Chain A
Amino acid sequence: MAKMISTVMSNLTHCPKTRLYPLEERQLPPGTRGQIEFDMTKCIFCSLCAKRCPADAITVDRKGKTLVFNPFRCIICESCLEGCPKDAISLFSHWRAPVTALYEQKYQPEPGQAGD
């Protein structure tokens, strides 16, 4: 009981341990799996990433040279990162902001780049 009073008093006199989340963001450590991004200058549309993805978040059209990524299926497991032969996928330690409507990201080779 006395222990708890001292805890209560020290909490009362110190800064709170929580923060007002959307207003104050925490610094995430560098390795945090926040979200992934594709670099279309490197991608060769080999579809290895799509094959390894456990959540089926990536579909690659090898002929049409398009890659469609569904960020809301992605569980940020890094499997595609490990599988990509060209290191075309990179990881950011930043959470994707909440959205009100789902969307897919379509990637196409930029003109005159390695994909062509």
Chain B
Amino acid sequence: MGRITAPFGPQHPVLPEPLHLNITYEDEKVVGLSPAIGYVHRGLEKTAEKKEYPENVFLVERVCGICSFMHAMTYCMGIEELMGIEIPPRAQYLRVFYSEISRLHSHLLWLGLFADAFGFENLFMQYWAAREKILDLMELTGGQRVILSSCAIGGIRRDLNAEQIDTAQGVLMQTEEELKRINPVMLNAYTVKQRTVGKGMLSREDALLYGAVGPMLRASGVAQDLRQTGYAAYRELGFAPVVETDGDSYARALVRVRETCQSIELARKALERLPEGEAAVKVKGNPDGETMQRVEQPRGELLYYIKGNGSKNLERLRIRTPTFANIPSLLKMLPGCEMADVPVIVLSIDPCISCTER
């Protein structure tokens, strides 16, 4: 067989988002590739300068549909720092709760898509069925299934009542049981291991060199998770990052599987220890000065740079999302792999192109 150049994306069935890789194959082996992004640029950063700062919460939520809560939270944390707002402890714990169920649903989504990437449709459906319960929980507590809009500057907009907390605990417990049934298939099934073990190797050195973040980095043996910095209530809740050392697609799946369990645990702990009191404080004034905020998103480090000038509008908002940081590692992993492994490896970085392009 000769050389064949085939496009992967921007419209590809395995990845609903427009990542474009022009891949050259020789005998079904990848020998060269060139990436291109920029298909869904929406100019959100510029729009943010036109809107008033409280309205931007709803704008940044729409950077990404999957981790929308984390975007809103990071933005709010930045503004709160600029304006010197101390948010009540109850809000801190609720933010942990919402972050963790967002992470949970994002990881379940990814695990399903990953199963889909190696053609295991049934496993895909099982993970998504489990995720559905979490989405229902989000709807019950936040009011909508994906875009929660429950974070606001100064705290959390919708406080949880006792009944909702009970339901949430129940749903989380159920999900844990459900995952005990599904996870072994992802981790132990022979056909799955054939497709993931040893695919897309990224050594510890390379991971650091190419600036990988999030589960990618942790699967390569680097214990780095921004939740260690203890924002929101993570410091009080106690937290240790999940680390695997193999650096292949299987390790990345394993990291995410273990993180789903950890998320359930953290979310439940946050609910158990939820302090009494108000969930939000009133906000007055305008932000001034500049700040940098970092948060651990499901996919890795999310970075916000916010600059205010004492008026209602921000002077600059800059967002860097984890997928962008992981693309160099992807380009490192792909050459030399089989064609059949391309979707698996591309998915193993958990690409979120809408995030990347804002």
Contacts and interface: CB of A to CB of B under 8 A. Distances in A.
Do A's and B's CB atoms come within 8 Å in the complex? yes
Interface string B139-174: 111011001010000000110000000000000000
A63 interface: no
A87 B126 CA distance: 44
Contacts of A1: 189-191
Contacts of B140: 29, 31
Nearest to A53: B55
B158 A31 contact: yes
A76 B144 CA distance: 9
Contacts of B122: 4, 7-8
Interface residues of B, number: 30
B284 interface: no
Contacts of B185: 3-4, 7
Interface size band for A: 20 to 34
Contacts of B136: 29
Contact of B51 (A3, A28, A54): A54
Contacts, number: 56
B14 to A, nearest CB: 21
A79 interface: yes
Interface in A63-114: 75-79, 82
Contacts of A53: 55
Contact of A28 (B139, B149, B184): B139
Contact of A31 (B56, B129, B143, B188): B143
B181 A54 contact: no
Contacts of A42: none
Given A7-B181, A28-B139, A76-B144, 15 more contacts: A1-B191, A7-B185, A29-B139, A31-B143, A32-B139, A33-B143, A33-B144, A33-B149, A52-B54, A53-B55, A54-B59, A75-B147, A77-B149, A79-B58, A82-B157
The 8 closest A-B pairs by CB, nearest first: A54-B55, A33-B143, A54-B58, A29-B140, A17-B129, A77-B58, A4-B185, A31-B143
